[in-house]
Amino acid sequence: MMVNLSDIKDPSFLNDLSNKELEELSKEIRTFLIESLSKTGGHLSSNLGVVELTIALHKVFDSPKDKLIFDVGHQAYTHKILTGRATEFDKLRMHNGLSGFLKRSESIHDVYEAGHSSTSIAAASGMEFSKKFIGNSNKVIPIIGDGALTGGMAFEALNFLGGQGDHQPIIILNDNEMSISENIGFLASILNNIRSKNTYRKIKTKTKKFLPKFLRKFSTKVERGVKGFLTTNTIFDDLGFSYYGPINGHDFKELIKYLNIAKKSNRACVIHVLTEKGKGYKPSEQDINGSWHGVGPFDIETGKQIAKKEENIYSWSEIISEYMINYAKNNEKFTIVIPAMIGGSSLFKYKEQFPKQIIDVGIAEQLAVTMSSGFAISGVDVFTPIYSTFLQRAYDQVNHDVARQNLKVVFGIDRAGIVGADGETHQGLFDIPLLRHIPNMTIAHPRNPEEAFKLLNYAFKVNKGPFAIRYERGNEFYDFNEGITNETFDKPSWEIINKGKKAVFLSFGSMLEQVKEEVNKQELDVCIVDAKFIKPLDKDIIKYISNLDVPIVIYEESSLLGGFGSAVLEHLVINKLDTSKITLMGIKDEYIEQGAKHLVLKELNLDLDSIIKKIKEVI
């Protein structure tokens, strides 16, 4: 073994390594990643693709003085290894363990945190422009995938930065021809086109050689002009960048050569690097659906996931997708609009059956929402599933384009609540405060699949305006042989699911079932209310429980500030009802770290035990 990965403290050792040694190091890192992730799970294929690229970046640039900004940050495992964190991989994405994304508190080399996509070029712009205040000449290097480049902010930042002569970020476009799954849109075809014309760079280099010396000096304008004669400009040239590529992202000679050219350049550059997603492990190399983008523990030999699928146990995303399959069967004027998460939202099966009734718009949540408003206004039923955390990107579109026009868009708020291993950047804790104050908006959260189907029937068949159905990251039992009910609600009301006189437990979602079971087991005299409609509130039931004159515990796996409990309190205050017996349980004013859901809930005193304890305390 040339270098023990656990002994690496920082990337400076790379300076002494030859290309051959770097190749050996890449092999070691790949073996390490495959072995380690087979036990912990993680973003396998994105990371296997950028081993050489990351090593080359750390060899050519001087991190952390030079700023490596990994877009999303899910592909930075080699960066973590090279900056001294190999020994922490056994707790990757676990409670109190190594983050799956960049984390400034973990290392001085993690100069910028993301989690959400398409931020790197915008952040780089700020860092570039700050140089005139802080006076350094370090390089700023955003590393962005072809998927992340489909996000609006990446385009906005390119548009802004291009041609800013005195600012020289080096944008590394990591093009593996995939987003999480298939990359979409015209940009993907443009990149494809560039790939097929890979004589581009050679012609350019040759041209420069034959230019008279005095012309070479006026590199910028003249260079672009001459290039224009001989080759087709890329979109990046047209936007005002020096384009280099496409470059083989697994060839150190080529990588190091062009990174050095960019380093010396006095113009903003785009280096177009071709990488193979999943490289070095057959199952991930052959993956076309993105199943190896993020994986759980797996068997290296067979490539099979270790977690077994139990009969009739489905994720919430699968349950909602089954409903959509059923809905599409009976409704031709229906479509799904989804921003880049067909896999995560379990919609491959749906897509297979109804390929013309699903549109993946790429990592473009704002587009997904406003496009949905266009469907709704044309009288087409539309379901728009977006992870709670990514919906944050599209607040204005939900408010202004959908709700203000009172359009019937049904939003699927996937991954609502604590999400587990993805941690802070992915927790679904803010969608209730985000949506609750929007006029016309109905918000619901089912406690079991049957209730979800009734709520969706209500959303499509009874309700006239925007509707958001939240569902959790987690599994539920359902036997689909029983079919999908046609039943619905005639109005948005709550339900008392357990009678009791000594206290009230008011909440929504799957925790209700658990609390009910435990309350009955322990024979506690507690009234349990299912607030399946988070908005509008059920004023009659609020009045009823208020009149019981007993303690009321309101629980939400969501931000307390501006949340469901706040809504109930506001209602009580406005209607001069008693607030003195209310206890709120929910997420306080903080960001919540990664970890298995049960551990995180326990730490926050929001698990089942803590709820029962609180109920007993107030009785």
Ligand X SMILES: Cc1ncc(C[n+]2csc(CCOP(=O)(O)OP(=O)(O)O)c2C)c(N)n1
Candidate residues 340, 455, 572, 612; the one interacting with ligand X per rule CB under 6 A: 340
Candidate residues 30, 59, 67, 74; the one interacting with ligand X per rule CB under 6 A: 74
Question: What is the nearest approach in angstroms of ligand X to the Cβ of residue 362?
Answer: 8
Q: Does 143 bind ligand X (CB under 6 A)?
A: no
Q: Residue count of the chain, please give it.
A: 619
Half-sphere exposure of 8 (CA within 13 A, CB side): 24
Distances in Å between the alpha carbon of 46 and those of 78, 100, 316, 447, 488?
11, 12, 26, 35, 43
Q: Which of 30, 227, 277, 473 is catalytic?
A: 277
Q: Which of 277, 309, 310 has its CA nearest to residue 296?
A: 309
Q: Does 367 bind ligand X (CB under 6 A)?
A: no
What kind and span of H or E run contains 268? Answer: none
Q: Does 78 bind ligand X (CB under 6 A)?
A: no
Question: What is the nearest approach in angstroms of ligand X to the Cβ of residue 269?
Answer: 19
277 included as an active-site residue: yes
> Contact at 8 Å (CB) between 215 and 208?
no
Cβ closest to ligand X, residue 179 vs residue 507: 179
Q: Does 430 bind ligand X (CB under 6 A)?
A: no
Q: Which of 415, 427, 390 has its CA nearest to residue 595?
A: 427
**Among the candidate windows 135-143, 174-182, 461-469, 596-604, which touches ligand X by CB under 6 A?**
174-182
Count residues binding ligand X (CB under 6 A).
22
Q: Which two tokens stand for residue 432?
A: 């209730």
Q: Does 123 bind ligand X (CB under 6 A)?
A: no
> Contact at 8 Å (CB) between 467 and 402?
no
Q: What is the DSSP string of 105-130?
A: TT-TT-----SSSS-HHHHHHHHHHH
365 included as an active-site residue: yes
Q: Does 179 bind ligand X (CB under 6 A)?
A: yes
What kind and span of H or E run contains 583? Answer: strand 582-587
Question: What is the nearest approach in angstroms of ligand X to the Cβ of residue 234?
Answer: 18
Q: Does 51 bind ligand X (CB under 6 A)?
A: no
Q: Is 265 exposed, middle or buried (0-12, 13-18, 19+ CB in 10 A)?
A: middle
Q: Does 117 bind ligand X (CB under 6 A)?
A: yes
Candidate residues 80, 201, 272, 277; the one interacting with ligand X per rule CB under 6 A: 277
Q: Does 157 bind ligand X (CB under 6 A)?
A: no
| Partner residues linked to 529 by β-bridges | 496, 506
Cβ closest to ligand X, residue 84 vs residue 145: 145
Separation of alpha carbons 358 and 372, rounded Å: 11
Candidate residues 40, 46, 366, 399; the one interacting with ligand X per rule CB under 6 A: 46
Q: Which of 351, 393, 470, 614 is catalytic?
A: 393
Cβ closest to ligand X, residue 49 vs residue 492: 49
- Quick one: how far is CA 543 from the chain centroid? 40
Question: What is the nearest approach in angstroms of ligand X to the Cβ of residue 594?
Answer: 15
Distances in Å between the alpha carbon of 22 and those of 14, 34, 239, 438, 580?
8, 18, 34, 55, 67
Question: What is the nearest approach in angstroms of ligand X to the Cβ of residue 599?
Answer: 23
Question: What is the nearest approach in angstroms of ligand X to the Cβ of residue 131?
Answer: 27
Question: What is the nearest approach in angstroms of ligand X to the Cβ of residue 294?
Answer: 8
Q: Does 390 bind ligand X (CB under 6 A)?
A: yes
Cβ closest to ligand X, residue 38 vs residue 179: 179
Cβ closest to ligand X, residue 80 vs residue 571: 80
Candidate residues 40, 83, 176, 397; the one interacting with ligand X per rule CB under 6 A: 176
Separation of alpha carbons 366 and 461, rounded Å: 26
Q: Which of 237, 58, 52, 69 has its CA nearest to residue 140?
A: 69
Active site residues per annotation: 277, 365, 393
Q: In the complex, which residues of this chain contact ligand X (CB under 6 A)?
A: 46, 49, 72, 74-75, 116-117, 145-148, 174, 176, 178-180, 277, 293, 340, 363, 390, 393
